[in-house]
């Protein structure tokens, strides 16, 4: 997926405005001493929103899709999936060796 950050944030704002507004306090706290506290108080109270179904599918008419050959799709949303791909490809990154 290729997109500018501002485009993705706009889709996020339009699709789940109540969730988007909860991040208002975060923007002003980034880089300050209160950033960690604000983040810790924000995340436990967020609703579960599916990025693909709530945002991408809803605005699919506004997006373009291009066929790409020679690329393999992997949803790496879980650590086990990352480990599976690394194993299949025979890769052993430095961070894995340190664990």
Number of domains in the chain: 1
CA 5 to chain centre: 11
Note down the domain range covering 62.
5-98
pTM listed for this prediction: 0.59
- Weakly modelled stretches of the chain, pLDDT under 70: 99
Burial zone of 23 (CB within 10 Å; 0-12 exposed, 13-18 middle, 19+ buried)? middle
Residue 99: what pLDDT? 60
């Amino acid at each position: 997926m290729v997109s500018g950050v501002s485009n993705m944030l706009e889709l996020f704002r339009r699709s789940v405005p109540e969730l988007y507004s909860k991040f208002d306090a975060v923007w002003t706290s980034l880089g300050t001493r209160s950033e960690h506290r604000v983040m810790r108080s924000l995340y436990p109270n967020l609703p579960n929103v599916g990025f693909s179904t709530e945002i991408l599918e809803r605005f699919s008419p506004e997006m373009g899709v291009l066929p790409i050959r020679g690329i393999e799709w992997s949803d790496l949303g879980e650590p086990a999936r990352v480990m599976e791909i690394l194993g299949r490809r025979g890769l052993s990154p430095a961070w894995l060796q340190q664990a």
